[in-house]
Structure 1
Amino acid sequence: MQVPTVTAGDAPAPPPFLPPLWRQPEYMRLWTAQVIGNLGGHASGIAYPLLVLALTGSPKAASVVSVLHILPYLLLCLPVGALVDRWNRRRVMLTCHAGRMLAVAVLVAASARGGLSLPLLYAVAVVEGVCMVFFNIAETAALPRVVPTPQLARATAQNQAGFGVSAVLGPALGAWLFEAGGHAAPFVLDLACHAVAALQLWRLRTSFVPQPAVGRRHLGAEVMEGLRWLWRERLVRDIALITGVVNMVQAAVPLLLIVLARQHGASESQVGVVFSCGGAGAILGALVGPWVQQRLPFGPALIGVLVIEAAVFPLFALGQGAWSLGLVYGVIMFVGPVYNVLQFSRRIAMIPDGLQGRVNSSFRLVAMGLNPVGAAACGWLLEHGGSGRTLALFGAVWAAVALVAWADPVLRQARQRGG
């Protein structure tokens, strides 16, 4: 038998050298814009409920701001996903920063004139929510244009780390500015952060122009194409459903933590400490996420994260002050980025580039569709049932979703490592 010879031309080509992410200017510009924009968003995000509570004393009124912030996802994310696949994604992100700057500037001007009111706060929340729909979908769809596929998991982890840094500094800065600099001070910081983030996006040189369409385009048909892709991919669909319930509980956590901390006598600055502890946990979780993603089977790792979160959540009931509440929140936020690194890197690598906006918007509709329910239910339960019953109800929901994930055969058998 003749043994075939292997020539140099038959040998597999070595994988191309990929510089570390910090040496890739385009990704770093996108990442820096995300971190700075999130810093301002977290600073103003904690100021919204504090401001409404200062004006009204009503947790239910404070929850309305959260609902209005999230509601545009339900109404707009599907058509926005199709539009983002048609439009220049960089231009969309820049427009969103401009819109949020204008809305926050109106709020700051009203505060300077002593004209703050609930209707104005609600209107600004709606405008910011609409801008966030366009921005988040465009940013997610832009990531594969600036990062090679083998580095998507690491880029996701670095994005989560940046989110954690802003989540550490933002709430502490926002609460301190609210207490020491006046009610409008956190929003002034938010305004400045949006301006700096927009400048970073302006410096991007990657082409985000979509491929020209073949034939006539119909928005409804394009939306359905993204929905059909999501529905056919059973693994991605199940992850979206599970994430939707988890996010519903997460939407209730900020207001619940503020009320719990205030019941224990915490000041505004100490409330900021609680959220900064969560941000510190998110940074550590983002560092661990790539290790988990590369070394552990996908499905069991994702289920394990959900089980840990469900087990830790009831410990909020044992909190006696800002630091103990912050410790529990830090653990929950530690495993959160691990979950995000796992599911996001797997999902983003599976979606074709021309469908990124539509599929990701479909995913977000499912994953965030219950957020207004969680935020509104938290406010209503706190006002009518107390913090103990509110905590017990959301803890039971989290335990149930962890059990459903463990019982899902598709998720349990998804054992491939990597993206």
Structure 2
Amino acid sequence: MNTPLSDSGSASGSLARHPGFQRFWGARVLASLSFQMLAVAMGWHIYALTKSAFALGLVGLAQFLPMFLLTLVVGHVADRYDRRRIAAVCQSIECAAALTFACGTFGGWLSAPIIYALAACVGAARAFESPAISSLLPGVVPRAKLPNATAWSTSATQTAQILGPALGGLLYGVGAGAAYLACTISFALAAVLSSNIRLHTKPASRAPVTLESVFSGIAFIRSQPVILGALSLDLFAVLFGGATALLPIFARDILHAGPLELGLLRSASAVGALTGTIWLAHFPLRRRPGLAMFGGVIVFGFATIAFGLSHNIVVSLIALAVLGASDVVSVVVRSSLVQLRTPNETLGRVSAVNSLFIGTSNQLGEFESGLTAGWWGAQPAVLVGGVATICVALVWMRLFPALRDTRSLEREPEPATAAAN
């Protein structure tokens, strides 16, 4: 890595005192916290209503479809308008959706079709929010601090993924309406923080809308084999290996637990991820980040298999923690590659495609998990997914040697340029 981050303690300290980054980090924590609480509540609620693994998968599909359909639009919006306002508006919409969940619960009219419709609204809002937030960070902190800021920004998400599911499960145990109200408040606070983030650079200028500019994010990624390899590796690994959508089934039918234990299971992977994030923030990946990413994906696959075989909640929690720690390597490498190798004027469109890959692996992965669990059962579906993840990593090492052999998160010089220098 070319970025001078050897003094990680001072870098972390300066970020902690950076007012723009403080608000950015706080907004990201609160928004992620809200979404994680909402995911637990929706999952347990829909499974309680339907007792169907397929119905659980449909929640993920309902969130994925708007993201897929809006990908080209949201990237251009993120590059043409103030990314802070976009994030604040989206979080306000999510706040309204959570409030509707609460009203429907208290009023007794919240049915499965309404849950799917509200999940689609949340998915549409997150489709705009994700690239806006992701592409905002280079304007919040100087470029020299970007890899460190990316790691700490990832820790914001992981912190929320620890606290959110556990808190959501606890509140759902008190009452579903209480969980939805907590989501409403947290989304509202996130919107306030997002609208008040300070930037050290001006927002990107509004480039004219052309067909070429709309597709420029996809064209850029296709021209960068390292970024394309990282995005597609993460896509297929999590698509096949994601067991999150099936956690209500594992908690209720296999581990014989309740909503609080479901929250702990969803938190376990984030505990491992946060541990890995803090480690990477203090000890950045200076050499062979691509190889580290492949190793993390393979460990992710083995941890998924261990979780699928487990009938003990302690073993399941440990397996999920290892799964989260290994996954964060992929997250940090992929995010850093996108941030450091993409020009700021197209970062929103590239981040939108990145968000589509993430949404495909997460939300569509939930649908895939629900579908295969409906066919084969929850445990066989998870085991097959873990094996498929390992196979994907091994195949991608052959398909994308540029990613496997890359030695820096920064853009590397072409061989001819390097020889001339």
**What TM-score comes out, normalization by structure 1 length?**
0.90
Q: Is contact 2:71-2:352 (8 Å) kept?
A: yes
CA–CA distance in 1 between the matches of 2:332 and 2:371? 33
Q: 2:335 aligns with which of 321, 326, 344?
A: 344
CA–CA distance in 2 between the matches of 1:229 and 1:245? 20
Residue 197 of structure 1 pairs with residue 190 of structure 2: yes
Residue 307 of structure 1 pairs with residue 301 of structure 2: no
Counterpart residue type for residue 256 of structure 1: L
Aligned equivalent of 1:272: 263
Aligned equivalent of 1:81: 75
Q: 2:404 aligns with which of 399, 412, 415?
A: 412
Q: Is contact 1:92-1:135 (8 Å) kept?
A: yes
Question: 116-125 vs 292-301, which deviates more?
Answer: 292-301
Aligned equivalent of 1:176: 170
Q: How much does 1:187 deviate?
A: 1.0
Q: 1:22 aligns with which of 11, 16, 26?
A: 16
Aligned length: 399
Per-residue CA distance 1:165-195 (angstroms, 9 max, x = gap): 2111111111111112x12211111100011
CA–CA distance in 2 between the matches of 1:324 and 1:370? 25
Counterpart residue type for residue 379 of structure 1: G
Q: How much does 1:54 deviate?
A: 1.0
Q: 1:354 aligns with which of 345, 350, 374?
A: 345
CA–CA distance in 2 between the matches of 1:260 and 1:389? 12
| Aligned residue runs from structure 1 range 86-105, under 5 A | 86-105=80-99
Counterpart residue type for residue 344 of structure 1: S
Q: Is contact 1:261-1:321 (8 Å) kept?
A: no
Q: How much does 1:22 deviate?
A: 0.4
CA–CA distance in 2 between the matches of 1:418 and 1:372? 30
In the alignment, structure 1 segments of 5+ residues that lack a partner are: 1-14
Q: 2:140 aligns with which of 136, 142, 146?
A: 146
Aligned equivalent of 2:251: 261
Between structure 1 and structure 2, the one with the greater Rg is 1
Q: Is contact 1:111-1:184 (8 Å) kept?
A: yes
Q: Is contact 1:85-1:354 (8 Å) kept?
A: yes
Aligned equivalent of 2:4: none
Counterpart residue type for residue 402 of structure 2: V
Q: Secondary structure at the match of 1:265?
A: coil
Q: How much does 1:244 deviate?
A: 1.2
Per-residue CA distance 1:206-233 (angstroms, 9 max, x = gap): 26533243xxx23432122222111111
CA–CA distance in 2 between the matches of 1:418 and 1:326? 35
CA–CA distance in 1 between the matches of 2:375 and 2:299? 30
**What TM-score comes out, normalization by structure 2 length?**
0.89
Q: Is contact 1:42-1:174 (8 Å) kept?
A: yes
Counterpart residue type for residue 192 of structure 1: I
CA–CA distance in 1 between the matches of 2:92 and 2:210? 25
Q: 2:38 aligns with which of 25, 38, 44?
A: 44
Q: Is contact 1:142-1:208 (8 Å) kept?
A: no
| Aligned residue runs from structure 1 range 182-261, under 5 A | 182-206=175-199, 209-213=203-207, 217-249=208-240, 252-261=242-251
CA–CA distance in 2 between the matches of 1:131 and 1:208? 24
Q: How much does 1:346 deviate?
A: 2.2
Q: How much does 1:366 deviate?
A: 3.9
> Cα–Cα, structure 1 residues 340 and 29, in superposed 2: closer, same or farther, change >3 Å?
same
| Aligned residue runs from structure 1 range 356-375, under 5 A | 356-369=347-360, 371-375=362-366
CA–CA distance in 1 between the matches of 2:142 and 2:170? 40
Q: CA RMSD in A?
A: 2.0
Identity rate, percent: 26
Q: How much does 1:258 deviate?
A: 2.5
Per-residue CA distance 1:121-148 (angstroms, 9 max, x = gap): 1111011001001111100111100111
> Cα–Cα, structure 1 residues 138 and 270, in superposed 2: closer, same or farther, change >3 Å?
same
CA–CA distance in 1 between the matches of 2:293 and 2:80? 33
Aligned equivalent of 1:282: 273
Q: Is contact 2:34-2:186 (8 Å) kept?
A: yes
Q: How much does 1:257 deviate?
A: 2.6
Q: How much does 1:383 deviate?
A: 2.3
Counterpart residue type for residue 109 of structure 2: G
Q: How much does 1:345 deviate?
A: 1.2
CA–CA distance in 2 between the matches of 1:249 and 1:291? 31
CA–CA distance in 2 between the matches of 1:279 and 1:199? 25
Question: 360-369 vs 184-193, which deviates more?
Answer: 360-369
CA–CA distance in 2 between the matches of 1:102 and 1:373? 24
CA–CA distance in 1 between the matches of 2:130 and 2:350? 13
Per-residue CA distance 1:352-376 (angstroms, 9 max, x = gap): 1100011121233345435454222
CA–CA distance in 1 between the matches of 2:120 and 2:210? 24
Counterpart residue type for residue 107 of structure 1: F
Q: How much does 1:336 deviate?
A: 1.6
CA–CA distance in 2 between the matches of 1:21 and 1:57? 46
CA–CA distance in 1 between the matches of 2:32 and 2:409? 30
Aligned equivalent of 1:394: 385
| Aligned residue runs from structure 1 range 45-60, under 5 A | 45-60=39-54
CA–CA distance in 2 between the matches of 1:389 and 1:144? 43
CA–CA distance in 2 between the matches of 1:366 and 1:223? 17
Q: Secondary structure at the match of 1:339?
A: helix
> Cα–Cα, structure 1 residues 219 and 326, in superposed 2: closer, same or farther, change >3 Å?
farther
> Cα–Cα, structure 1 residues 372 and 136, in superposed 2: closer, same or farther, change >3 Å?
closer
> Cα–Cα, structure 1 residues 417 and 58, in superposed 2: closer, same or farther, change >3 Å?
closer
Question: 335-344 vs 24-33, which deviates more?
Answer: 335-344
Q: 1:296 aligns with which of 280, 287, 296?
A: 287
CA–CA distance in 1 between the matches of 2:58 and 2:124? 16
In the alignment, structure 2 segments of 5+ residues that lack a partner are: 1-6, 412-421
CA–CA distance in 2 between the matches of 1:342 and 1:49? 30
Q: How much does 1:334 deviate?
A: 0.9
